[in-house]
Amino acid sequence: MTDTFTKRTPHLARRHAREIRFQWLGKIAISIAVGFLLIMVGTISWMGAGALKQTQISLQVYLDPQEIDTSAVEKADYGAMVKTALRATFPEVKKRRDTRKLYKLLSSQAAFGLQRQIKENPDLIGQTKSVWFIASDDVDMFFKANITVDTNGNAGKLDEKQVQWLATLDKSGAVRSRFNTGFFLSGDSREPELAGILSAFAGTTLTLFVCFLLSFPIGILAAVYLEEFIPENRWSDLIEVNINNLAAVPSIVFGLLGLAVFLNAFDLPRSSPLVGGMVLALMTLPTIIIASRSALRSVPPSIREAALGIGATRTQMVFHHVAPLAMSGMLTGTIIGMARALGETAPLLMIGMVAFIVDTPTSILQPATALPVQIFLWADSPERGFLEKTSAAIIVLIAFLIAMNLIAIILRNKYRQRF
């Protein structure tokens, strides 16, 4: 027989067919998963990309020395100056109602930008300067082509006249689109064109910091103690079952616990990253303990025997040999837990981290909000401008998550050891 290795019996052919079928099923499953991921990331990026751009309008502003007191530059009425400049640009607008519409083209906070410029450079006083102002959210939406002009000449909240003025401005080159640094450098605002992510980002960072500081050491120590020190008996089984159950408790329950214990009983500051971090730590602990215990269990017993056999104490055995080998698994568990904590909204709502926060929190005791809560708040707002902010905030959240995972991978590779 020369064809022993080349002939395909029907049985062998069937086995190969089964193999190929299975591989195809795997490929299809992966394509579906990747496809959905791409769709999700794609839509969010597409919707959120707009938030990175900001429409600005340029006006000739006369910085009247009579209006600005050089000894107290910030006290001057810049709002009035901006309004004067707007009227000067469109001298034909006379009626009160129309001027008010004209003012609406700019963000209500546009004058702040001017104030800042003058403060930095008081020499400008007395000159007529061309200044870029942040447009209102309606104008912003209009130029981002999110709103189309209807048959009456209206575009969303903008009416016929406003659309015409904008066309005039655009033609004269007084409209531009710039990278929206304000989105990353300012806190929340009622005005969509001014709302930024910084306060929520800082809140999330502080909250996760507290969460990590509490849950990592407590979780690891609990896991080490349960796994390496106490004998296996009915009590250890009971503890194990309870920890597993805790991992499955809905997060809002931890929020209620935080409300009852941390806020009402201990009287800790409401809405603060401290309490948020404590609540999230409670939620994260079971995950860390379970993952760390399984990491410890995967360390071969021969290492423990080696250490104890040479006269190491249990603590030395754990901290010199077992824990370093389990470290990468323990870190993975911690990051998984923290990633879940990062996306949590419900427990934070319960402890009041849902407040409208403009200022960036700088300590864990100040009121703060968190990224997912910010997303929730913006998604709930009626203004169209918040729609793209919501998506942009989601992108920031995802970027945060990826950064956390990267740190985890780096740490894991650092601690990876063979055994």
Partner 1 sequence: MTLAVSTSVEPETQIDQVIVKASDINVFYGDKQALYTVSLHVPQNKVTALIGPSGCGKTTFLKCINRMNDLIDICRVEGEILVGDQDIYAPAVDVVALRAHIGMVFQKPNPFPKSIFDNVAYGLRIHNIATSKTELADRVESSLRSAALWEEVKDRLDQPGTSLSGGQQQRLCIARAIAIQPKIILMDEPASALDPIATAKIEELIDDLRQNYTIIIVTHSMQQAARVSQYTAFFHMGELVEHGKTKSIFTAPNDERTQNYITGRIG
Residues at the contact surface with partner 1, assessed by CB under 8 A: 231-233, 300, 302-313, 316, 320-321, 325, 417-419
Q: Is 68 in a helix, a strand, or coil?
A: coil
- Which of 121, 236 has the CB closer to partner 1? 236
- Which of 322, 335 has the CB closer to partner 1? 322
In this structure, how many other beta carbons lie within 10 angstroms of the beta carbon of residue 243? Answer: 18
Q: How far is the CB of 235 from partner 1 (least distance, A)?
A: 12
- Which of 75, 297 has the CB closer to partner 1? 297
Q: How far is the CB of 300 from partner 1 (least distance, A)?
A: 8
Buried residues in 366-403 as b, exposed as e (16+ CB within 10 A): bbbbbbbbbbbbbeeeebbbbbbbbbbbbbbbbebbee
Question: Are residues 254 and 282 in contact, defined by beta-carbon separation less than 8 angstroms?
Answer: yes
Distance (Å) of CA 247 to CA 188, 284, 337: 33, 8, 10
Strand order in the sheet with 128-134: 128-134, 53-62, 175-179
Q: How far is the CB of 307 from partner 1 (least distance, A)?
A: 8
CA 388 to chain centre: 14
Q: How far is the CB of 236 from partner 1 (least distance, A)?
A: 10
Q: How far is the CB of 418 from partner 1 (least distance, A)?
A: 6
Q: How far is the CB of 302 from partner 1 (least distance, A)?
A: 4
- Which of 156, 324 has the CB closer to partner 1? 324
- Which of 298, 417 has the CB closer to partner 1? 417
Instruction: For 200, list phi and psi in degrees, rounded to 5.
Output: -70, -40
- Which of 198, 308 has the CB closer to partner 1? 308
Rounded CA-CA distance 95/106 in Å is: 18
